Structure 1
């Protein structure tokens, strides 16, 4: 009986070792891609028209079509959440804190995370699929043999476009949330502007503003880098294991969760 347990122990330790190795390799590739992107962004040759054109085209193509739809969606969500919070606060006699609570919940916490997840689902996760198909079909290797700078022409535009779309949607939806919060409390009247501006200045002190900016940028980087890295280094279908495609999503959501926890600690502790 004791001898029969050795194979299972060996297979378990082997699986643990393989999982740890795959995780370390995956994170190493993510950081390598992050460093490569910043090197390319700092390179003057990136800003010459042959290299800059695909970046600008993808930024426009991936951001402009979703601006209106996401703005309308954000406005509806903000208006509904504002109404719920205000009615709940009034019922508990906390109406004086309702507007500040709305701004903290919507602008500081929900809006950047929602924008990052929207861009991930709409843009960067499909990018991963495109790159994986390009690698598995052999088109990547064929173009690389012809001397094409694929990191500059294919990878960098996708990463920059995802980052730009996430930051743009977060900034736009924050403005929409502030407007909807005001309308939800004061209606279409200018009477509440002085009190609203005082509350806004109280909430967005320098430390909270710094945390908000860092959270928005780090979340945007996470949704821009991690899915693209997953697709870029994806194994061929015949060699991949079940669940390999989901590992990149798990890592992305884990990073977003850590960023959100760090933001909460920075704002409220």
Structure 2
């Protein structure tokens, strides 16, 4: 038989991996769609579901806020000081504060909040749901009771946590930027508020809100959907793999969203 006929153009293992990857991403999309349906259904928000959501909101937002605020303040202060000193050294002092606000609030704050929550999910196993005994069940085949009491509260808590931490970090960054440039004095408020208003025009606010919302959806949906795809029999020994797999997928989504945001901004 000729060698050209003996060789397959696409090896079977490669086709199998591609098909498995596509099925996994389809399961993630389906999980997000079913979660949206349950979130918009009034019957999903009974007393037990609200209590479960409140407990998870406390764990993901309130308990993480002090540590995130401290970390965000240290990183923001270092970046603000570096950008201001660099701009002054090149004679661009009049653009220093606007550059700080654009770099921090428009690019780094939403991404930092999403990465922090992703690390929180990866390190805290209690935020991930237990794999289904059958393994690989479609999200719409899961019991409605499990959606209301276990899955939907986690989706809502993680999504809200990204938005809350990004908002808190943004306000803190604005306060630190003002303090570094003007000091503890009210005399710079007039020019500072005019500059911030110039930066955050309606189009920029809409783009920032959309990007932060997509980050929140990615962090809330992808890790949970990935955890549900692991068979229950192998859950203990494959728990680390499930976390790493979900983390890689979220990182891929965040990188794509950030790249798309920068492309739309500068093209």
The TM-score, its normalising length taken from structure 2, stands at 0.87
Once residues 19 and 124 of structure 2 are traced to their aligned partners in structure 1, the CA distance between those partners, rounded to angstroms, is: 26
CA displacement 1:67-86 (0-9 Å, x = unmatched): 11111211111111110001
Distance in 2 (alpha carbons) for counterparts of 1:230 and 1:125: 15
Aligned pairs for 1:7-86 within 5 A = 9=8, 13-86=11-84
Are residues 1:166 and 2:177 paired? no
Consecutive unaligned residues in structure 2, runs of 5 or more: 138-142
> How many residue pairs were aligned?
258
Structure 2: how far apart are the matches of 1:105 and 1:217?
18
Q: Distance in 2 between matches of 1:125 and 1:227?
A: 12
Q: Deviations over 1:36-77 (max 9, x none)?
A: 111111111122102221112111122111111111211111
Within 5 A, what are the aligned runs for 1:51-130?
51-123=49-121, 126=124, 130=128
CA offsets 1:224-251 (integer angstroms, 9 cap, x no match) = 10011000111343997x9665333222
CA distance in 1, matches of 2:122, 2:32: 15
C-alpha contact 2:223 2:243 (8 A) present in aligned 1 = no
State the Cα RMSD in Å: 2.8
The one of 198, 211, 230 aligned to 1:234: 230
In structure 2, how many angstroms separate the alpha carbons of the residues matched to 1:110 and 1:223?
A: 16
1:191 aligned counterpart, secondary structure: helix
Alignment pair present for 1:154 and 2:169: no
Mean CA deviation greater in 51-60 or 120-129: 120-129
User: 1: CA distance between counterparts of 2:27 and 2:242?
Assistant: 15
| Offset of residue 122 of structure 1 | 0.6
The residue matched to 2:52 in structure 1 has which SS? helix
Report Cα offsets for 1:79-133 as digits up to 9, x if no partner.
111100011111111111110110011100001000001011113664588434x
1: CA distance between counterparts of 2:171 and 2:229? 37
Q: State the Cα distance separating 1:265 from its structure 2 match.
A: 2.7
**Distance of 1:260 and 1:16 partners within structure 2:** 29
SS in 1 for 2:234: coil
Instruction: Call closer, same or farther: CA 1:129–1:60 in 2, change over 3 Å.
Output: closer
Query: In the alignment, which residue of structure 2 is the partner of 1:144?
Result: none
Q: Using the TM superposition, name which of 97-106 and 13-22 deviates more.
A: 13-22
* Aligned CA distance change for structure 1 residues 186 and 129 (closer, same or farther; 3 Å): closer
Corresponding position: 1:225 with 2:221: yes
